[in-house]
Amino acid sequence: MGKGWIHSVESLGTQDGPGIRYVIFTQGCPLRCKYCHNPDTWCMVDGEQIEVEELMEKILRCKVYIDKSGGGVTISGGEPTLQLEFIDKLLTRCKEEGIHTAVDTSGYLDRDDFKKVLEKIDLVLLDIKQIDDLKHQELTGVSNEKILDILKLLEEEKQDFWVRYVIVPGISDDIEDVKKLSNLLAPLKYLKKVELLPYHQLGVHKWKDLGMKYELEGLEPPSREKMEEVQSIFVDQGIEAVIK
Ligand code: SF4
């Protein structure tokens, strides 16, 4: 399949991996996170179909800036691994052009499927939403079992990765949960960084536009103190943790 469903692209992204990134937001996601700021990516066929080569032409136009900044291409979503064949082709083309590749994923897929594309990925950005499985199900609609298995896989395959964790007051900011997560991550050699993202309400209007109820209505972002408290738990374990 040379074509993939995408939501949008960002040619000068600075939030999704090192340096300046050409970010491709793919369409389709199997999770239903209560704080999702892109619910318009959930249904695959609501996106636009594009050929790998058409996308590569756009990427190559930005290659000078990307290379100068130590950046690359990031495939994000939605959930990019839902379109494995498409991202496989795109990653192959990027590697042929000598472009650094990153995939931002919820990790909600089978290890054997992810293994098929891993060697073409320089950096995985793994979004862990909650370490506690019941709370994870409550927040995203699915178990975190597969996601934690992907975490294991990354380490086994010696794959460099970052973990991203969104701090949502009352949902993922419980200090005991954060400690459990940091204990799990601390021994991992291929974990290069943890990014802590404060919950925000920027996508709330999209829920309304789609006619869906936003359950976290009125929930305020975490305080700076809370973000720093969470950060210190990771740092105390020797993990590089940054607040975004
Ligand atoms: S995994 Fe990402 S795109 Fe999917 S529902 Fe959660 S926040 Fe939204």
Q: What is the pLDDT of residues 187-238, one digit of tens each?
A: 999 999 999 999 999 889 999 999 999 999 999 999 999 999 999 999 999 9
- Looking at residue 168, what is its pLDDT? 97
Model confidence pLDDT, tens digit, residues 73-119: 999 999 999 999 999 999 999 999 999 999 999 999 999 999 999 99
Q: What does the pLDDT read at residue 203?
A: 87
- pLDDT tens readout for residues 26-65: 999 999 999 999 999 999 999 999 999 999 999 999 999 9
Token readout for 94 is 């990027």
For ligand 1, the distance from its centroid to the CA atom of residue 243, given in whole angstroms, is 20
Pocket test for ligand 1, best of 6, 23, 130, 140 (most atoms within 8 A of CB): 140
Q: Is 78 in the pocket of ligand 1 (CB under 6 A)?
A: yes
DSSP, residue by residue, 137-176: HHHHSS-SHHHHHHHHHHHHTT--EEEEEEE-TTTT--HH
Q: Is 31 in the pocket of ligand 1 (CB under 6 A)?
A: yes
**Sheet containing 48-51: which strands, arranged edge to edge?**
48-51, 3-13, 21-26, 72-76, 101-105, 123-127, 161-167, 191-198, 241-243
**Is the CB of residue 122 below 6 angstroms from any atom belonging to ligand 1?**
no
Q: Would you say residue 154 has pLDDT above 90?
A: yes
Lookup result for tokens 């976290």: 216
Nearest CA to ligand 1 atom 6: 33
Indicate the top mutation candidate among 6, 16, 32, 33 to test ligand 1's pocket, ranked by most ligand atoms within 8 A of CB.
33
Residue identified by tokens 């891993």 is 118
Examine the pLDDT at 2 and tell me if it is beyond 90: no
Query: How close is the Cα of 32 to the center of ligand 1, in Å?
Result: 6
Our answer on whether the CB atom of 32 is closer than 6 Å to any ligand 1 atom is: yes
Average pLDDT in the 128-155 region? 98
Q: What is the DSSP string of 73-113?
A: EEEESS-GGGGHHHHHHHHHHHHHTT--EEEEE---S-HHH
Domain housing 109: 3-243
Question: Which domain CATH number covers 180?
Answer: 3.20.20.70
Tens of pLDDT, residue by residue over 228-237, are: 999 999 999 9
- Pocket lining: 106 vs ligand 1, CB cutoff 6 Å: yes
Domain tally for the chain?
1
At residue 220, the pLDDT reads 95
Cα–Cα dist 145/15, whole Å = 27
Pairing of strands 21-26, 3-13: antiparallel
The confidence score (pLDDT) of residue 21 equals 98
**Alpha-carbon separation of residue 133 from 130, 136, 137, 152 (angstroms):** 7, 5, 6, 16
- CB 29 less than 6 A from any atom of ligand 1: yes
Residue 1 has pLDDT above 70, yes or no: no
pLDDT, residue 135, reads 98
Which residues are CB-neighbours of 56 under 8 A, at least 6 positions away? 90, 93, 94, 97
Q: What is the dihedral of CA 159, 104, 35, 140, to 10 degrees?
A: -60
CA of 30, closest atom in ligand 1: 4
